Structure 1
């Protein structure tokens, strides 16, 4: 991975958003820009919060925000797409549990995918809005592959059980099918390392079919971004798909965990393309130039919870932003309640049960031109 260093290496102390120890970081340092966003609880039509969905990823479909649950979510939330109205933060619908195509059923991975797969991130194919991609992360809780499959897919370049890229297809009747799957391979030279629960957490796709994949941490403890080219024949093979690494100027850290937990692609009015990265542990939005000509800009985000009749507006101790996507000039963010830290936010007694239910919030920020200077 290309690591950005200024002529003089700047050393600074950073207090992470997860109340973890201070870490030494290498420049670029966070900018002096700070954005504050006020979140609203995602409620259904009856006013109830989403119960423990462990929201992972965010995309736009038919004008609504859509998210997915990971393997640690309540089982009723898993293997579904959940639609949210951005205007009201209302949970408008959840799909039925995914069905499985013949290709997936016959694959080496069906047993895992049909039970409690750890699905992370979402990306809509800009060439076909009925095609959505998701990816698996931690598969350590599943049973081993068959001997034949294990031999075929042992050279992952990362975890023992391969990372799986999954194609979801929306049907005319509103059903969602897990229609294709293909394992990913990380070339040994990339030195990704074997970290089952620190794998791919962000996806987004460009108009030309380039899929960007954000890795939480590699062997050296660094966040990484990789790419795949997805064409119409991509899923016709059951062999490994090998990722590449674009020449991006990402931050580099000497200690601590600084993962990217979400990705969104944004095209500026100048025509330049940027990746928005959700740096969850640091409460930062990363502005990543896809051309690699600019260093990543790190913008601190303060997450507040909207006031209501019972609670005044207050700042969260730990938001754990997970998914992000743009609609016009607005960046939408959904958080992934982190059980270890979520109760630290319960400073208002009236909201305590919502934190106990691991209920997520929806945030928005107006995109600011100074982010791209």
Structure 2
């Protein structure tokens, strides 16, 4: 009896293993969420393009868009904020160069910050819009820290020269002061790795003062997002500020480079908060649930250039989106011309000079409810 029962069980298991379980459901392919963004050249009041600003980050301030230049930009564009009208893609003004507060002048980092620092990303503090944050990335072109400063700030958890969070303060006359600076530390268990030109490139701030920082890649080649709590006394200390890592469902990759090059905060009509991330190499917008309960939505974007008197509308070969910010139901995107690839876009002769000047474009994109389903 026992042998017969055993044989029956074995036969049953063999049959079930060879057949498809009844509860398997074959799901259809995911909905195609591809979007098209049509960009306009950012022109000044005389109709000239911005010359090599290497636009890094995008924010909204008093209804206008602001951006900043990194260390690879033309020197005339550096260490200042640039204001752009979203309605017309017109460069309204490039403010005076930053001044420096005594606390910055006395810091270990003044020599670097005052001479072509690699400033990346912008985040306006929603609690006080006169306060704006930026962050440094590549400091390999600067001289070494003094022996005292190097000893104090050697345990970065990442690059040899520390990543710096910089506070900008807008004065009553409209000028901007670099008012505070604090180095960032990455816990060793985060395994960020030492990649000077693949550091923090995106930044945005929540209403409660949580600052989100996007890392291009870590030691495993993965993009990461970290956080800092910026309280009133945050810059009273000159010691390292140690980042935390929220539990977000970011994409994971087995090969290739898939950096995040921009971040923006967005509050949905459901009161749920999301991060918009610019995945430059993938030409994708990532929609990230800040609670970590939903997987990230990856939205492919086709970047096009609006037609004008000289050219018909055409698709770009390489846009390299860098900064983004949401205003009501529109996501605004600015690109960072990548010198190595930018001339590949010059399929229309009338625009060739714009690409040679490494001029950026401004792209509006309607926020789609399907991104949050």
TM (norm. structure 2) is 0.92
* Partner residue in 2 for 1:99: 99
In structure 1, runs of 5+ residues without a counterpart are 1-28
The match for 1:260 is 260
Question: Number of paired residues?
Answer: 345
Q: Note the alpha carbon deviations across 1:3-34, whole angstroms, 9 max, x for none.
A: xxxxxxxxxxxxxxxxxxxxxxxxxx986210
Structure 2 CA distance for aligned equivalents of residues 347 and 240 of structure 1: 48
Asked whether the equivalents of residues 137 and 198 of structure 1 are also in contact (C-alpha less than 8 Å), the reply is yes
CA positional deviation for 1:285: 0.2
Shift of 1:268: 0.3
Find out whether 1:320 has 2:286 as its counterpart: no
| Structure 1 counterpart of 2:17 | none
What pairs up with 1:109-188 in 2 under 5 angstroms? 109-188=109-188
Which residue does the alignment assign to 2:77? 77
Equivalent residue number for residue 17 of structure 1? none
- Shift of the alpha carbon at 1:161? 0.1
Q: Does 1:372 align with 2:372?
A: yes
Partner of residue 200, structure 1: 200
2:64 counterpart residue number: 64
- 1:16 corresponds to which residue? none
Give the secondary structure class of the aligned counterpart of 1:121. strand
SS at match of 1:252: coil
1:241 Cα deviation from its structure 2 partner: 0.1
Task: Tell me the residue number matched to 1:240.
Answer: 240
**Residue 65 of structure 2 corresponds to residue 47 of structure 1:** no
Task: Determine the structure 2 residue equivalent to 1:23.
Answer: none
Counterpart contact for 1:30–1:298, Cα < 8 Å: no
Partner of 1:338: 338
Instruction: Name the CA distance, whole Å, in 2 between partners of 1:117 and 1:221.
Output: 25
SS at match of 1:129: coil
CA distance in 1, matches of 2:309, 2:101: 48
Instruction: Give the distance between the partners of 2:236 and 2:74, measured in 1 at CA.
Output: 33
**Counterpart in 1 of 2:33?**
33
Q: 1:369 to 1:189 in 2, by over 3 A?
A: same
- Structure 1: distance between partners of 2:30 and 2:348: 30
Structure 1 match to 2:297: 297
List per-residue Cα deviations over 1:190-216 (Å, max 9, x = no partner): 000000000000000001000000000
CA distance in 2, matches of 1:88, 1:369: 25
Distance across 2 between alignment mates of 1:148 and 1:355: 45
Q: Deviations over 1:252-296 (max 9, x none)?
A: 001100000000000000010000000000000000000000000
Runs of 5+ consecutive residues of structure 2 not aligned to the other structure: 1-28
Distance in 2 of aligned mates of 1:95 and 1:62: 15
Corresponding residue for residue 87 of structure 1: 87
Normalised by the size of structure 1, how large is the TM-score? 0.92
1:30 & 1:244 partners in 2: Cα distance?
A: 33
Larger Rg: 2
Whichever structure has more helix as a proportion of its residues is 2
Distance of 2:193 and 2:371 partners within structure 1: 32
Report the secondary structure of 1:253's partner residue: coil
Instruction: Output the aligned Cα RMSD.
Output: 0.8
1:46-78 CA distance string (max 9 Å, x none): 000000000000000010000000000000000
Ranked by relative contact order (alpha carbons within 8 Å, sequence separation 6 or more), the top structure is 1
Residue in 1 that maps onto 2:15: none
Given that residues 31 and 299 in structure 1 are in contact (C-alpha distance below 8 angstroms), is that contact kept between their aligned partners in structure 2?
no
Tell me, in whole angstroms, the C-alpha distance in 1 between the residues paired with 2:311 and 2:59: 30
Asked if structure 2 preserves the Cα contact closer than 8 Å seen for 1:30 and 1:297, the reply is no
**Cα contact 1:31–1:297 (8 A) shared by 2:** no
Q: Which runs of 4+ in 1 moved over 4 A?
A: none
Query: 2: distance between equivalents of 1:37 and 1:152?
Result: 46
